Every structure is written in C-alpha cells, then in structure tokens.
Structure 1
C-alpha cells in the first residue's frame, strides 16, 4: 500500500511537469502546444479579456479556494502525523516521522499566510480571470504538495488514526511534542532558514503588489511595482516561492524523489508564468526597467 501511494503521487507530479517541459522545447512544431500550455498558466493581467478562451475562465479571486483547501488539508495531515510521532514507540525511522512533522509545520505557515493574504492583501480587479484548468491545477497542487511532504509515512499515520478513533482519547503534551522538533539535524535548520528567507520576501512582495491598489480608483490600473526583489526581477513573489520550496527540499534531506518532483513542478510552473508576466510588462510599459529579468536575476 505504501509504495502504491508513493508512486501514485510521483506519477501525478510527472504528468503535471511533462507538458511544461515539452512546451519549453524551442521547436516550431510545438508552437501550438506551447500556446496551449501557456493558456493554462495565464491569469489576471496577462489573460486578456479578448481571449477566445474567456468563457473557460473563473474570477481570479477564486485563488482563495486554493488556500482554504491548503489550510484544511495541511492541518489535518499535520495533526495526524504529529500525534502519531508523539505516540509512536522509538524505532528505526522515528526521525523520518518527526521530519515529516517539521515539513508540514513549515507548509502550514505558508498556506496560512497565503489564505490571510487572499482576503486582506490582494485586491483583484473585477475583470481579473484565470483558466478553469489553471484553477483545477491549483486545487491539485494544494492537495498533492502537503501530501508529498509525508507520503512515505502516510499509510502508517492513516492506520494509527483509524485505531485511535476506535480507542480511548489520546493525551497530547504540546511541550513534550516540540522537543524532538528542535533536535532535528542541520539539514532541517538550514532548510528552515532558507524557507523563512523566501517566506519573508514573498510576504513583502505581496504587500507591495497589494499596495498598488489601495484606493478604488486603482482597481483597474496597472502600475510598475518597485521595492524589495522587484528591483531585480519582474516576478519576485514567484522567485520567493521557489526559494521557500527549495528550503523544504533541503529540510527534507534531499533524498526523497517525491519532494524533488514537487520542487520541479514549482520551478517549471512559476518560470513559465513569470516569463509571460515579464513579456506583458515589456509590452505594457515603454519605461519598464531594462535591468529586470523575468524571475532569476541575471539569468532569465
């Protein structure tokens, strides 16, 4: 059962990554496919109202649905895995279980902030839309990403949770359950530091984007953002997301292929979206800063 779940999640990530990889191949025969894939990635300002696929779109404010799902699902996985780690007797892969708790805790910090931002920071234009397939991809991501952080031990946790449900109530000592988390290895500490670096910069960049539409008169206007990593790339919030998922990868120890696939999806997806955003800025503003790259400073 364990291998079945692991490979199911891995195949799902591969199936999600492969179209983006193919679309990135510079071949004229793939132009139509390239445009098709980009159509799924376009949203907001880069999804023009005149698009023939406009009827297959949803309001961009539905982004909040991703984070409601992400918070609910991550909290469930975190609570079950943490309780399992706390109650299990010591055995060989105890460290792996506590590491999964640590990764899910970081993910919880991320999805909670994104949920709050979707309600209190971002002010989407009434005309801002996103592809229905992009919407489904978002729901897939916030289901598969938290699961990928603990998929190797998920069957054990499910079995434990089922048994606990039929047994007497379990006692949970929060202080005692925190001690193993602070005794994890250097990979977890370094990974958490990288994660928080990306997390803080994404928070700042989102605040900058949100501030561009503080008044009702700005709702339908687009302004060149400035500040923080916006001075070097057009989509610093995407760069920050790649950084924080790199932190999760480091914290995982880098030995799990599932988390590598999760990271690969994040990189490919956000790189494609950032490229489209950068080209839109160049078309929209004649005075757009020439020193900015799309997402990776001095590279792309």
Structure 2
C-alpha cells in the first residue's frame, strides 16, 4: 500500500468501491468478447447474440455512435461549471476527457463510414460505461482537492500518453474510413500504419488515451477505469482478429490482435 501511495492519491471507501464498479463490468465484457458473446455493433452485429438480429431494436450506426459518446462529453463540459478552480491537474483531466469524447463525436459525424446498425441495448451499455467512468473520474478528482500530492508525479507523462493516444487513434480511424467508397458496406483487410502489425491499432491508442487519463489524474478510480478498458479492448481485438481470420483466407497470421509482436 505504501508503494501505491507514491503513485496515487489516498483512496476513500467511496473511491475504492466505485473503482470496482468501473473495472468489473469492463473486464467481464472483455472476457465475453473472447468467448464469442459480443456487443452488437459493427461486424459483430447479430454474431454471438442470444437473440436474433431481427428481433433487436436497432439504430443507424451513425446515430447510435453520436448518442453513446455525448453524455461523457457533456460530463466533461459541465464539470468546468460544477467544479471551478480546483487546480491544474483537475483542469487537465477534464480537458482531456472533453477533448477525447468531442473527437469521437466529430469522427462519428465526419470520419467513420458505416456498414450497418447498432442494437440499442449495446448502445446503452457502452453509453453508460463511458458516462459513468468519466463522471467517476471527474468526481474522484474533485475529492482529492486539499490532499497531499503523490510522491511520484505522473501528470506530464500522462499528457504525453494522452496526446499519443488521441493522435494515433484518429490517424487509424482515418485509415479505416479510406477502406470504403461512399455507400460501400463490404469489409476489407486494413493496411497502413500499425495495421501491418496488429488488427486493432485504434484500440491500442484508445487504451493509451485512458492510461493518459490515469496518469494525469493519479486516482484509484482512473487507474481501474484504464485497466478495465484495457481488458475490454484486448478481448474485442482478439475477437476481431478471429473474425478476420475466418472471413479472409489471405489474412496474415503474423498480425497480432492489439499489441505488436505480443498479443
């Protein structure tokens, strides 16, 4: 515990409990993805579902993606009014959260090209995950006001991690969008950037964004959110690689799921 306090603000009972709330569903979801039970969107719509795709309530992918990112974006925006003037670390954390989810909304409108629909239950599950984790990170940071700073300051490395993550995520989303002509819905093997090494480099950089949040914040809650996101996206990337292998005979075996040369 003394080692942890060098990196983290002292966690309260509330922060410890909500950290488990942030971590557990994400980790379980990642395991479910590996086992073939997928959240119903993108290429996995109707795959591994207990109910048929036809029986699900669906939204267009564009509308669903914009909807699921908006509450987390608004949590970041309104936090500036609710918790004003609480120090540089707090400003950087909520700025990073707001910028990240604004980027995702922007991409949903102007970058992504969609092949289908999203089940509303999956949309709600992702919406709640992003909103709750963002709100808890922000509130947990508010609870650190007046506490002594951790001995080891990770704030500036966190800014670097966040910057690399958000830039890499955007770049690889742009590469994905170029795979399809307007109106086309077929899937192709992605190429360029880190796609030559892993199936889901956009997930890798998304993970770096959340570890950027964690390093900037240095609360138990933000670290549990980053760890849970890592487990979920590792599971999702593993399932995505398995899907590509099943659909494309020429998919290169050497391409890993999310971490080059490792996983």
Residue 256 of structure 2: SS of its match in structure 1?
coil
Q: Which residue matches 2:58?
A: 58
The answer to whether residue 169 in structure 2 is matched with residue 202 in structure 1 is yes
How far off its partner does 1:155 sit? 6.7
Q: Which residue matches 1:267?
A: 230
The match for 1:243 among 201, 205, 208 is 208
Aligned partners of 1:57 and 1:241: how far apart in 2? Answer: 28
Q: Number of residues paired by the alignment? A: 243
Aligned partners of 1:298 and 1:155: how far apart in 2? Answer: 40
The alignment's TM-score, normalised by the length of structure 1, stands at 0.72
Q: Which residue matches 2:8?
A: none
* Native 8 Å contact 1:46 1:276 kept in 2: no
The match for 1:75 among 74, 77, 80 is 77
Q: Which residue matches 2:196?
A: 231
Show the 5 A alignment for 1:116-155: 116-125=106-115, 128-154=116-142
Show the 5 A alignment for 1:178-197: 187-197=154-164
Aligned partners of 1:11 and 1:142: how far apart in 2? Answer: 15
The match for 2:104 among 114, 117, 132 is 114
CA gap of 1:271–1:131, structure 2 versus 1, over 3 A, is farther
Per-residue CA distance 1:131-154 (angstroms, 9 max, x = gap)? 443212211122122223222354
Aligned partners of 1:270 and 1:140: how far apart in 2? Answer: 16
Residue 139 of structure 2: SS of its match in structure 1?
coil
Give the number of the structure whose residues are more often helix, by fraction.
1
The alignment's TM-score, normalised by the length of structure 2, stands at 0.81
How far off its partner does 1:293 sit? 0.3
The match for 1:45 among 43, 46, 56 is 43
CA gap of 1:13–1:48, structure 2 versus 1, over 3 A, is same
How far off its partner does 1:221 sit? 1.2
Where do 5+ consecutive residues of structure 1 fail to align? 26-33, 86-96, 158-184
Q: Considering only aligned residues, what root-mean-square deviation do their CA atoms show, in Å? A: 2.8
* Native 8 Å contact 1:42 1:273 kept in 2: no
CA gap of 1:156–1:237, structure 2 versus 1, over 3 A, is closer
How far off its partner does 1:112 sit? 0.9
CA gap of 1:3–1:191, structure 2 versus 1, over 3 A, is closer
Residue 122 of structure 1: SS of its match in structure 2?
coil
The match for 2:245 among 282, 289, 296 is 282
